[in-house]
Amino acid sequence: MLECRALTCGYQGAQVLHGVDLRVGPGEVLMILGANGAGKTTLLRAVSGMLPVTGEVLLEGRRVTNTPTQALVRMGVAHVPQGRGTFQQFTVEENLLLGAATLRSAERGEIPARLAQVFELFPRLAERLHQQASTMSGGEQQMLAIARALMSRPKLLLLDEPSLGLAPQVTKEVFQTLRSLKKEGRISMLVVEQNAHLSLELADRVAVLETGRTVLEGTPTQLSGDPALRDAYLGGALR
Amino acid sequence: MTAFLQQIFSGVATGAIYASIGIALVLIFRSTGIANFAQGEMAMFSTYIAWQLSVWGIPLAVAALGGVVFGVALGILTERFVVRRAETGPHLNAVILTFGLFLIFNQSAAVIWHSTSQRFPSLVADHMWKVAGIHVSSGLLLMLAVLVVESAGIYVLLQRTRIGLWMRASAANPESAALVGIDVQKVLMLGWGLAGGFGAIGGILIASRTFLEPNMMSGVLLYAFAAIVLGGLTSVFGAVVGGLSIGVLENLVGTYVSALGPDLKAVVPLAVVVLVLLVRPTGLFGVPERARV
């Protein structure tokens, strides 16, 4: 689905990624682990065309390096950024309709079906349809952000710390939804997450990012068996 | 009392002009954060195009439409080829750029059509009614009608259509807009085009009420800026309310404050700007900008 080869990227003068290689297969969930400042958020931004990169980004085998963000969305990439990126002053309904912005006029008849599908995953959003996004709780806003991303029927979902700032119970709910989404098998995910415990249940594979390089890759079982790694990145969460 | 009402009514009519230029300024400011000082000159240039077309024998309604279409095209081209280069830098660059555009349009008009003022034909047959002692001319009614249609049109566009939702989204959060697949740059271009069109409508209305000459917009632009500062910079509704208020205030001060009189009434919009910025910097309908830290 997604492949990055020797991806490098940075912000004005400061190189953040020094050659990242990774691969996400169809229907697969790859989790990125790494300390603060390792370049996790930058990696997601690089993949979704928000930063100029060198190296190669392949989407379903097609070279999409430095394709503008909005074009990548049309190719099936949906990115839920850190801080959620919802439109705060807009209603839930408007946010969801914006999620379907890539639909051509002829396909707009699909919108009700897509809304219904999203409400099945997040029933609470249906109740809040006309509420302004900024008035909702953090958890509801995160659900809205994911729901909005799903409105474009993505093939690849990029999630940047979906648990950030959420209460543990709410985080659990969000991850439950992500697991049921994964079970449907239509969507690949690249997830950056600090909450190792929950993410390891979700992930098929884990890649560890250290100062802008992928230093380790494996299945959750392989990695959680590595004591050094467990102490460094998992905070002993799996003990 | 009748005289007072008459002054208010003419004030509303003048205010309608400030409002239509104000709407154009707001459309650009809310999406790009740029105060477009060339807005008035773009409107003046488009008005000259309409006038030129009518001089060439094209029926006035078609010529006016031509001027508006030209205004839209001028807005789009200005964004695409000039302003876009400054959009990523500090805002001051873009603002200075619009000053440059101001000079270019102003001087080009003077070179092409000379600085002597031209009479712009009236858009409707002159007629005067007397309603409850107040004189109401067909020209004034047209102006109010255009303002109502303009405001309603923008409201429907922004609140009820898909492209309007995209425009609001791009203005509110460009990064998130790109993440849902909106081509923000194209939306900005469209915003400049719309502003160019609304500006042209304003210019044609002014010219048909007064006269046409390269410097005709400099005063109007000042009043329009005062109007949107009063209305809150980002609100189209605020631009309309602000424009009408400034128009009425200007007229009343010009008539009843003999110390200022018609000659010094230009102080009014400036005083309003200072007052608003001191007392309520967000204006009547503005939303305070929150920076995420």
- CB distance A27 to A187 below 8 Å: yes
pLDDT at B257: 81
* B61, containing H or E segment: helix B60-81
- DSSP-derived letter for residue B212 is B
Domain membership of residue B72 (yes or no) is: yes
pTM: 0.87
CATH of the domain at B179: 1.10.3470
* DSSP symbols for chain A: -EEEEEEEEEETTEEEEEEEEEEE-TT-EEEEE--TTSSHHHHHHHHTTSS-EEEEEEETTEE-TT--HHHHHHTTEEEE-TT----TTSBHHHHHHHHTTTS-GGGGGGHHHHHHHHHHH-HHHHHTTTSBGGGS-HHHHHHHHHHHHHTT--SEEEEE-TTTT--HHHHHHHHHHHHHHHHH---EEEEE-S-HHHHHHH-SEEEEEETTEEEEEE-HHHHHT-HHHHHHHSTTTT-
Domain membership of residue B290 (yes or no) is: no
Residue with tokens 């009343």: B252
Domain membership of residue B17 (yes or no) is: yes
Of B169, B181, B292, the CB nearest to A73: B181
Residue with tokens 């953090």: A138
Q: Is A214 on the interface with B (CB under 8 A)?
A: no
Q: Is A101 on the interface with B (CB under 8 A)?
A: yes
How far apart are alpha carbons A44 and A25 in whole angstroms? 16
Please report, for residues B65, B69, B188, B262, the alpha-carbon distance to residue B72 in angstroms, rounded to integers and kept in the order given.
Answer: 11, 5, 13, 34
pLDDT at B266: 80
Q: Which residues of chain B have pLDDT under 50?
A: 292-293
pLDDT at B289: 62
- CB distance B238 to B232 below 8 Å: yes
* Tens digit of each residue's pLDDT (9 = 90 or more) over B70-102: 999 999 999 999 999 887 788 889 889 999 999
- To test the contact with chain A by mutation, choose from B180, B184, B185, B186 the residue with the greatest count of A C-beta atoms within 10 A, namely B180
Burial B140-162 (b: 16+ CB within 10 A, else e): bebbbebbeebbeebeeebeeee
Domain membership of residue B138 (yes or no) is: yes
Report CA torsion sign: B99, B101, B106, B108: positive
Residues in B closer than 8 angstroms to A11, CB to CB, are none
Domain membership of residue B61 (yes or no) is: yes
How far apart are alpha carbons B208 and B124 in whole angstroms? 9
Of B169, B183, B292, the CB nearest to A98: B169
Question: Cβ–Cβ of A90/B178 closer than 8 Å?
Answer: no
pLDDT per residue, tens digit, chain A (239 aa), is 899 988 888 888 788 999 899 999 999 999 998 888 888 999 999 999 999 999 999 999 999 999 999 999 999 999 999 888 899 989 999 999 999 998 888 888 899 999 999 999 999 999 999 999 999 998 899 999 999 999 999 999 999 999 888 888 999 999 999 999 999 888 999 999 877 778 888 999 998 888 888 888 888 888 777 776 666 666 544 44
Of B165, B175, B292, the CB nearest to A98: B165
Residue with tokens 């002009």: B17
pLDDT at B77: 97
What's the total number of domains in chain B? 1
Nearest to B30 by CA among B166, B168, B212, B132: B168
Domain membership of residue B288 (yes or no) is: no
Domain membership of residue B70 (yes or no) is: yes
Question: How many helices (H) and strands (E) would you count in chain B?
Answer: 12, 2
- CB distance B153 to B68 below 8 Å: no
pLDDT at B278: 92
Find the residue in A nearest to B176 (Cα).
A85
Question: Cβ–Cβ of B181/A83 closer than 8 Å?
Answer: no
- DSSP-derived letter for residue B82 is T
**What is the edge-to-edge ordering of all strands in the sheet holding A62-63?**
A14-24, A2-11, A53-59, A62-63
Nearest to B9 by CA among B151, B149, B131: B131
Residues of B in CB contact (< 8 Å) with A are 162, 165-166, 168-169, 172-173, 175-184, 287, 292
- CB distance B226 to B272 below 8 Å: yes
pLDDT at A231: 66
pLDDT at A237: 47
Q: Is the ipTM reported for this complex over the cut 0.90?
A: no
The partner residues of A210 in beta bridges, in order of sequence, read: A213
Q: Give the 3-state secondary structure of residue B64.
A: helix
How far apart are alpha carbons A97 and A224 in whole angstroms? 41
Nearest to A83 by CA among A134, A10, A32, A23: A134
How far apart are the CA of B180 and the nearest CA of chain A, in angstroms? Answer: 5
Q: Which domain holds residue B67?
A: 2-279
How far apart are alpha carbons A49 and A65 in whole angstroms? 8
How far apart are alpha carbons B196 and B73 in whole angstroms? 8
Find the residue in A nearest to B175 (Cα).
A85
Of B176, B178, B181, the CB nearest to A87: B176
Of B172, B179, B292, the CB nearest to A69: B179
Q: Give the 3-state secondary structure of residue B258.
A: coil
pLDDT at B133: 81
- CB distance B10 to B248 below 8 Å: no
Domain membership of residue B291 (yes or no) is: no
- CB distance B210 to B217 below 8 Å: no
Q: Is A76 on the interface with B (CB under 8 A)?
A: no
